Every structure is written in structure tokens, then in C-alpha cells.
């Protein structure tokens, strides 16, 4: 980066910047901020504003209604469980895709992205067909919490795999060979050399996956049955309360979900920052 500015200075000069360049910079920045404000910032601001409209006391009492709490607990609990599974299986899958070789590997690699490509409602419908009342394999978990877990596992499957893969590809294989030559067992090589380097990748995937799982609606809405206190997730709670006109109830839970999203984004940012720690001279 230092080289970049050193080279740029003589060409553009500090004072004599061509006006077209200055205009372009202002324009692109202006457009970006305007677009983001209208599309993202204002709606979110409106939500936060609406939730505090009646004061924090009111917000708290609405947010801690038993049904709301049950829905949030279910969403967070399910998301946590699913995230844990993804952390392990996702890492294994990424490992197999990068280090192993077998017929059909490129097909498998392509298929990982299916949850990104398939509409969530369709995913929910197919899970219902496979693991619901008319299941061809005799498994019926419709209207249970297991169904929610299955749906969330489907939609969050690619996250850890896709964040770990590029990191694995970049790893210095010779460092692993060095560790072996120093006497480290295969498990030790993984623990001391590979894992510390892929951990940021795992964490980003986990944070993104958790955020996605906690707010998922499309995949869950058909298969869970949306039974309050049993299989009603937070997103369905919000939806139902909007429909029934209870905007403050919906807004309260929505803000909690929003805060969780913010926390996950902060985590990812923190991971990105921490990764560059030992690269900064």
C-alpha cells in the first residue's frame, strides 16, 4: 500500500488533482451513501425508533412476554446447536474438498452452494416431503423441534465450508511438513499448525451462519407448524404479530433479532482485525 501512494503522488500531485477525478470520487461516494441510506439505514432506523417510541419500560415488558421469550429461546437455542454442528462438519467437508480427491468431487463442491441458490420456502417444502407425514423413508418429524433443526442445517450448510476452504487452500503445506520433521503427530500437526490458521475462517462462517439461522423464516415456516411455545421461532412470532396488528410486540422481538445480527457482524469484523495482527510488522 505504501508503494501505491508513493507512485500515485507524482502522477496526480497533491494540489493539481484533475477536476474530473475529484468529481468522480464525490459522485461515487455520494451515490453510495445515498443508496445505502435509503435502502438500508432509514428502514432500520425506523424500526429502532418505533421500538423505543413508547419508552424503554414498555419495550422491555413487551419483549419479555412469555410467548416472545419462548420464541427467542427456541431461535437462539436451535441456531446455537446448528452452528456447532456446522463448525465441525463444515470444517471436515472443507478439508475433504481441499485435501482429498475422489470421483465426483467437483460435483460435490458445486452442490454445497445449493442452499444459496434454492428458495428457502422450496427447501422447507422438500424437507417436509422427505421427513414429514408422507416420508418415503418413514421418518416423520413435522411439527417438532427436530424439523426446525433440519431446516436450519440445510440453509446454513455452506457457511463454514465456504469460509474455511480458501484459508485451507492458502495454507503453507511445508509448515506442516516442518512440524512433522520436528516430531509432531498428525493430530498435533492439525491442532498446533492447521487449526490456529483456519480458526478465523471457522469463526466467520460460524458468525454468519448463526445470524442466518436465528432469523430464518422461509425454510422453517412450513415444516415446524409454528405452534406457540413449542415450535414457533422468533421470525414467525414477528410475522404473526405484524399480521395481527401488534406492531410493538413485533418490533420488540425484531429489535432483539437485530441486536443479535449486529453482534454477529461485530464478531466477523473482530475476526478480520485479529487475523491481520501477526501480519502487521
Separation of alpha carbons 204 and 206, rounded Å: 5
> In Å, what is the CA distance from 205 to each residue of 92, 97, 114, 125, 233?
13, 16, 16, 26, 22
How far is C-alpha 146 from the geometric centre of its chain's CA atoms? 21
Interface with other proteins (CB under 8 A), residue from 69, 70, 81, 112? 112
Binding residue for other proteins (CB under 8 A) from 13, 84, 99, 228? Answer: 99
Cα–Cα distance, 206 to 97 (Å, whole number): 19
Task: Give φ, ψ of 15 to 5 degrees.
Answer: -100, -40
Beta carbon of residue 60, minimum distance to other proteins (angstroms, whole number): 19
153 interacts with other proteins by CB under 8 A: yes
Return the residues of window 209-228 that contact other proteins according to CB under 8 A.
211-212, 214-218, 221-222
| CA atoms of 55 and 247, how far apart (whole Å) | 15
The size of the interface with other proteins (CB under 8 A), counted in residues, is 118
Position 118 contacts other proteins (CB under 8 A):
yes
Of 131, 202, 121, which is closest to residue 162 (Cα–Cα)? 202
Closest of 202, 217, 218 to residue 274, by C-alpha: 202
Q: Which of 199, 121, 109 is nearest to 157 (CA)?
A: 109
Q: In the complex with other proteins, which residue's Cβ is closer, 70 or 89?
A: 89
Ranges within 185-204 binding other proteins (CB under 8 A): 185-186, 188, 190, 192-193, 196-197
Is residue 4 at the binding interface for other proteins, with CB under 8 A as the rule? yes
Exactly one of 69, 70, 81, 121 binds other proteins (CB under 8 A); that residue is 121
Asked if residue 235 binds other proteins (CB under 8 A), the reply is yes
161-180 positions binding other proteins, by CB under 8 A:
165-167, 169-170, 172, 174-175, 177-180
Q: How far is the CB of 12 from other proteins (least distance, A)?
A: 8
Q: How far is the CB of 190 from other proteins (least distance, A)?
A: 7
Span 67-86, contacts to other proteins by CB under 8 A: none
Query: How many Cβ atoms are within 10 Å of 169's Cβ, its own excluded?
Result: 11
CA of residue 155 relative to chain centroid, distance: 10
Q: Is 250 a residue that touches other proteins (CB under 8 A)?
A: yes
Amino acid at each position: 500500500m505504501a508503494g501505491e501512494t508513493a507512485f500515485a503522488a507524482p502522477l496526480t500531485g497533491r494540489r493539481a488533482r484533475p477536476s474530473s477525478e475529484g468529481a468522480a470520487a464525490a459522485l461515487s461516494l455520494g451515490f453510495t451513501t445515498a443508496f445505502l441510506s435509503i435502502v438500508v439505514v432509514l428502514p432500520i432506523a425506523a424500526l429502532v425508533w418505533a421500538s423505543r417510541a413508547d419508552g424503554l419500560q414498555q419495550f422491555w415488558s413487551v419483549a419479555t412476554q412469555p410467548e416472545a421469550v419462548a420464541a427467542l429461546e427456541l431461535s437462539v437455542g436451535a441456531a446455537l446447536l446448528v452452528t456447532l454442528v456446522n463448525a465441525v462438519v463444515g470444517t471436515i467437508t472443507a478439508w475433504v474438498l481441499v485435501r482429498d480427491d475422489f470421483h465426483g468431487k467437483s460435483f460435490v463442491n458445486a452442490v454445497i452452494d445449493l442452499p444459496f441458490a434454492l428458495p428457502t420456502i422450496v427447501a422447507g417444502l422438500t424437507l417436509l416431503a422427505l421427513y414429514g407425514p408422507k416420508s418415503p423413508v418413514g421418518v416423520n418429524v413435522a411439527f417438532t423441534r427436530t424439523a426446525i433443526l433440519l431446516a436450519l442445517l440445510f440453509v446454513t450448510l455452506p457457511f463454514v465450508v465456504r469460509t474455511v476452504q480458501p484459508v485451507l487452500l492458502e495454507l503453507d503445506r511445508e509448515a506442516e511438513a516442518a512440524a512433522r520433521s520436528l516430531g509432531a503427530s498428525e493430530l498435533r500437526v492439525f491442532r498446533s499448525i492447521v487449526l490456529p490458521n483456519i480458526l478465523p475462517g471457522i469463526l466467520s462462517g460460524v458468525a454468519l451462519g448463526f445470524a442466518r439461522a436465528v432469523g430464518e423464516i422461509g425454510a422453517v415456516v412450513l415444516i415446524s407448524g409454528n405452534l406457540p411455545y413449542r415450535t414457533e421461532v422468533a421470525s414467525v412470532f414477528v410475522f404473526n404479530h405484524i399480521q395481527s396488528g401488534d406492531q410493538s410486540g413485533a418490533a420488540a422481538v425484531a429489535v432483539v433479532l437485530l441486536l443479535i445480527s449486529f453482534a454477529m457482524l461485530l464478531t466477523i469484523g473482530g475476526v478480520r482485525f485479529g487475523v491481520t495482527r501477526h501480519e502487521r510488522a
